[in-house]
Amino acid sequence: MAERQKLLEIKNLKQYFNSGKINEVKAVDNVTFDIYKGETLGLVGESGCGKSTTGRTIIRLYNATGGEVLFNGVNVHGKKNHAQLKDFNRKMQMIFQDPYASLNPRLKVADVIAEGIDIHGLAKSKKERMEQVYTLLETVGLNREHANRYPHEFSGGQRQRIGIARALAVQPEFIIADEPISALDVSIQAQVVNLMKKLQKEKELTYLFIAHDLSMVKYISDRIGVMYFGKLVELAPAEELYRNPLHPYTQSLLSAIPLPDPISERTRARKSYNPSVHNYAENEPVEFREVTPGHFVLCSEKEFNQI
């Protein structure tokens, strides 16, 4: 297999809110992982564990408290000129959880989608701008007649398609999808995931796909990272993570996935996670260690030796 190319390298990333104050929150605490070109990295963990903050810090919506983010080898948070900043802003896009809240209700769909085209000067004429909008609408499974309507005229799934078209408009390389399907009906979720998969192939996109549980990420992710209280506790190829979860928190998340069969669902054992199981000695170093190639887990040396 050819050497995989790293699109992003996230190194010891920290995002502390209210740093040094009594209400300090270590939303992202020393998180390290790479994202390879063309892959989907799923990031899961319960609400409040720091997934969105990780995404927002990577994409530079927040300055990092510490650590580094390299995009194609260039430090995202380092000093840059105007052209470099604009380049980052174009190549890294975000799709949000709530398609209702993330689209400006006063703008027609054409103008929602064309916002990035205008900012980055990607169309030479009004006609070319509209042609791009029409193509984008068709790419995401809508049609050109939708261009003149307003966001409130669409269903949740259609609005998420508009959000995807808006992100695609600037020809990005990397898209952070922050719980893009959590607000949608279950019946619509698979359609949006399938659309994202199709677009990934066609346009060689790289995704960071954020979700709060492990049920849907399975279908889209090549690798999955699990976060707990600001820390990345496990990272592995998707199949490996489901087959061989090593961190007790990952095991508890997996046991929370509902089973399709109602009888096994009623009797399935849910495993809860209690951090005190680790029983670390004071100052015992707990590190992100590679257990088998590509399978990392946050553990002490003693735990590592017991795996």
Ligand X SMILES: Nc1ncnc2c1ncn2[C@@H]1O[C@H](COP(=O)(O)OP(=O)(O)O)[C@@H](O)[C@H]1O
DSSP-derived pairing of the beta strands 40-44 and 223-228 = parallel
Complex with Mg ion: residue 27 or 35, whichever CB lies closer: 27
Q: How far is the CB of 41 from Mg ion (least distance, A)?
A: 16
Determine if 256 is a binding residue for ligand X (CB under 6 A).
Answer: no
Quick one: what does residue 245 bind among ligand X, Mg ion, none, with the CB cut-off 5 to 8 Å set by partner type? none
- Nearest in space to 114 (alpha carbons), one of 35, 200, 125, 52: 125
In this complex, which beta carbon is closest to ligand X, that of residue 49 or of residue 297?
49
Least gap, CB of 196 to ligand X (angstroms)? 19
Residue with Cβ nearer ligand X (17 or 150): 17
Residue whose CB is less far from ligand X, 15 or 132: 15
Under the rule (CB under 5 A), what is the footprint of Mg ion?
52
Q: How many residues sit close enough to ligand X to count as binding (CB under 6 A)?
A: 11
Residue where the block lists tokens 């050819």: 2
Q: What is the residue whose two structure tokens read 């983010």?
A: 69
User: Is 219 or 229 the residue whose CB approaches ligand X more closely?
Assistant: 229
Of all residues in the shown chain, the one whose CB is closest to Mg ion is 52
Residues 40-99 within binding reach of ligand X (CB under 6 A): 45, 47-53
Decide which of Mg ion, ligand X, none touches 50; Cβ closer than 5 to 8 Å per partner kind: ligand X
- Least Å distance, CB 2 to ligand X, is 34
**Binding track, positions 12-41, relative to ligand X; x by CB under 6 A:** -----x-------x-x--------------
Nearest approach, Cβ of residue 166 and ligand X (Å):
21
Nearer to Mg ion, 95 or 140 (CB): 95
Residue 247 interacts with which of ligand X, Mg ion, none, CB < 5 to 8 Å by class: none
> To the nearest whole angstrom, how small is the minimum distance from the Cβ of residue 98 to ligand X?
13
Task: Lay out the site mask for ligand X across 97-116 (x = CB under 6 A, - = otherwise).
Answer: --------------------
Nearer to Mg ion, 52 or 57 (CB): 52
* Residue 40 touches which member of Mg ion, ligand X, none, C-beta under 5-8 Å by kind: none
Residue entry with tokens 């999955």? 224
The whole-angstrom separation of Cα 196 and Cα 93 is 14
Over the range 24-57, which residues count as b (16 or more CB within 10 Å of their CB) and which as e? ebbbbbbbbbbbbebbbbbbbbbeebbbbbbbbb
With respect to Mg ion, which residue has the nearer C-beta, 33 or 154?
A: 33
Residues that bind ligand X (CB under 6 A): 17, 25, 27, 45, 47-53
